[in-house]
Chain A
Amino acid sequence: MFAKHVTRDISAYCHGELSPAESRRFAEHMISCAKCRGEFEEIKLGIKLAEQLPRVPAPESLWIGIESSLAAPKPIEVKRTSWQPRVAAAAAILVAVAAFGVWRFWRHGSSSQFSKPAWQVQQLGGASRIGGERITKEGQLAVGEWLETDANSRAQIAVSSIGKVDIDENTRVRLLETAPTEHRLELARGKMSAMIWAPPRLFFVDTPSAVAADLGCAYTLEVDDHGAGLLRVTSGRVALELRDRESMVPAGAACETRPGVGPGTPYFEDALASFRGALETVDFEHDAVARSQALDLMLSQARARDTLTLWHLLARVDGEDRVRVYEKISAFVPPPAGVTREGVLRLDQGMLGRWKDALEASWFVNDTVLPKVIAEGYWRVKNGVVRRLKQQ
C-alpha cells in the first residue's frame, strides 16, 4: 500500500511546485503514512529555518571598486537606444516609489500590506468587511488583516491550496501567517467551519483559550464573547493545545476551552448529558469536593467509548481520583502488555500512549465513524477510483 512514498516531493509540495493533482495525491498519502509524516515534520523545520536567511545588502563601496577595475574609459559609440530614457524613468520611478513608501509607512506604520501574502475570500451572503472595508463579491485577506461578518453576512476563505474555511455570521477572524510550513488564523469571536486536506499540523487556528492544530480533518470551532470556545470534529482529528495541556479530539467528539485554563477534556457528543455536565465541573470548577462528586457521576455513567474522556482525565486528576479513573478504564480495556498500573499512575508517557492506542478501537465501535485504519483505506481506494474515472 505504501510502495510509493512521497518524501521526495515534500519540499516541492511546501513550495507549491506540485500540480493540483500531485498535491492531492501527496496529501492523501501523507495522512495515512506515518513514515512520510515523520520526514514531513523534519523538512518543514528545515524550510522554516531556511526562511530565516536574510538578504545581505552589498556595501556602498562596491561600485567604486568595480569602476576603478574597469579598463580606462574608451570613447564608445553608443547607439541612442531607448534605454537612456528608461534610466531617467527608472530614477523617477524609484524616487516616486520611495516617496510613496515613506508616505505609506507614515500613514500605516508597520502594518503596510505591500506584497504581503493573502488568501482569497468569497462572499456567501451579505457584506463582510476586510480591514474595515466592505467587500462585495470577492476580496483578499492579507496577513495581519481582519475579516468580519455581521448578523447578515457569511464568507468563505480559500486556505492557500489546502482547504477552505466557512465563516459564519457575527464572526471575527484574522490571518496571522501563511507560509509553506504553517498557515494560521486567529478566531477572536464567532464560528468557523474548516475543511482541510493537508498533512497534519500545517493549519492552525488561535483562539483566546487554545490553539486548534489540524491533523487532516473537518471541524467547526466557536468562540463566545468571553473567549470560551467549543470544538466539534466531524472528520479526522484535531489537537487542542495551550502550553503543556493538550486534548486530542477525534471525529464525533467535541471539546470546550476556557480562557485561563485552556482546552478541557474531549468527549463524544453522544455521551449522556449528565456525563457531559459532570465533565464540565471536573474541567472548570475549582471546588475540590464538587469535582470529586462530579467524577463519581462520570465513572458511574461511562461507556466503553467514553474511555476517550477518561484516558485524558488520567493526567488531569491526581491521588485517589486518578486510581479510580485507572480502574474504570481497565474494566473496559485492560492495559496492554508492558503497560503497568504503576507506570500509568505516574503518567509514563510511553505507557499512556500505548494504552491509548489499545483504547482507540473501542472509541469507534457501534458508530457510524469507521476505525481510522479502515476509513483511511476506504478513502484511498475511493479517491483512486474517482481519479481514474475522471482521467478516462
Chain B
Amino acid sequence: MERRAIVAQQLIDGSVIEACQQGDREAFQLLFETYKDKVFSIAVYSVGGDRAVADDVTQQIFLKLFTAIRQFRGESEFTTWLYRLVVNACLDERRRRKRWLPWGESTAMSNAGDRKPQEKQFARLEVAEAVQAAIAELKPSFRLPILLKYIEGLSYEEIASVMGCSKGTVASRLNRGHSQLAKRLSHLNHPAAWGE
C-alpha cells in the first residue's frame, strides 16, 4: 500500500494539477486517491479520534481543494500547499468545536477484530491507543508538527513551510511535544509495557 501511494504520488505532477485546475473530475479523483489516507489521518488525530467528524473535515478539505486548486500557482510544492490547507482546516474545526472531544471508547480507532492473541502485539496496540489519546490532549501547536512528522514523514523544512514558521520553531515545538508525550505516558517507559 505504501509503495502504491509513493508511485501514485510520483505521478502527481504539473499536468495532473493543471487538469484539476480545469475542473477535470478524473484527475481530481487521482489526487484524492493519492492523498486521502494522509489527510484523513491528520483529521482523525486532530479531532480526538472521532471518525465521523474526521470524515466531515476530510470532505471539506477535498471540496475546498477542488475549488482552491485554481489558485495554486506552483510557487511552492503542491504537497506543502495541500498540507497548509489541511492544517488550517483542522485548526478551524478546533475553533468551531471550541473544545476537544476526549478520546473515549466510542471514538477510539482500535479495531478489536484486528487484535491478535500474541501478547506483544496486544501490548503494542495498547501503547498506540495511549499515544493517540495523549496526542489528542496536546496543544495544536505541538500536535500538528508531530502529525506532519510521523504521519506524513515531512522534513523539518517542509513542516516549517506548511506551518509558516522557521525550522528552529519546528524543532522547538517537536521537542516540547515529545517531552509532553513522554511526561504524560511515563508509565510506558518500561519494556513490559511494550510486551518485551
Contact = CB atoms under 8 A, between A and B. Distances in A.
Interface of A: 7-12, 15, 17, 39, 42-43, 45-47, 49-59, 62-63, 65-67, 69-70, 73-74, 76-79, 81-84, 86-87, 89-90, 93-94, 97-98, 101, 114-115
Given A51-B150, A62-B40, A89-B11, 17 more contacts: A7-B175, A10-B175, A11-B171, A12-B156, A12-B174, A15-B149, A45-B178, A45-B185, A46-B177, A53-B135, A56-B45, A57-B37, A58-B40, A58-B58, A66-B32, A79-B22, A81-B18
B171 to A, nearest CB: 5
A90 B178 contact: no
Contact of B174 (A11, A67, A70): A11
A53 B131 CA distance: 7
Count chain A CB atoms within 10 A of each CB in B4, B19, B39, B149 and give the residue with the most. Answer: B19
Interface string B14-48: 01101100111111011011001111110011000
Nearest to A16: B155
Contact of A43 (B55, B175, B186): B175
A94 B7 contact: yes
A8 B179 CA distance: 11
Count chain B CB atoms within 10 A of each CB in A9, A82, A83, A87 and give the residue with the most. Answer: A83
Interface stretch (B59-67, B72-80, B81-89, B92-100): B59-67
Given A49-B185, A53-B131, A79-B22, A93 B40 contact: no
A83 B19 contact: yes
16 contacts: A10-B178, A17-B155, A42-B183, A45-B182, A45-B185, A45-B188, A50-B150, A53-B128, A55-B37, A55-B38, A56-B40, A86-B15, A87-B26, A93-B7, A94-B4, A97-B7
Nearest to B15: A83
A55 B156 contact: no
A69 B177 CA distance: 37
Contact of A55 (B27, B62, B151, B171): B151
B2 interface: yes
A38 to B, nearest CB: 11
A355 B180 CA distance: 34
A270 B148 CA distance: 54
SS of B interface (majority): helix
Interface residues of B, number: 68
A90 B179 contact: no
Interface string B149-192: 11100011000000000010001101101111111011011000
B106 to A, nearest CB: 16
B154 to A, nearest CB: 11
B7 A53 contact: no
B30 to A, nearest CB: 6
Given A10-B175, A59-B55, A94-B7, A42 B182 contact: yes
A58 B36 contact: yes
A136 B18 CA distance: 47
A108 to B, nearest CB: 14
Count chain B CB atoms within 10 A of each CB in A50, A57, A82, A90 and give the residue with the most. Answer: A50
Contact of A49 (B4, B16, B27, B134): B134
Contacts of B109: 56
A54 to B, nearest CB: 6
Contact of A46 (B15, B37, B155, B178): B178
Contact of A76 (B24, B38, B124): B24
Contacts of B181: 45-46, 49-50
A47 B178 contact: yes
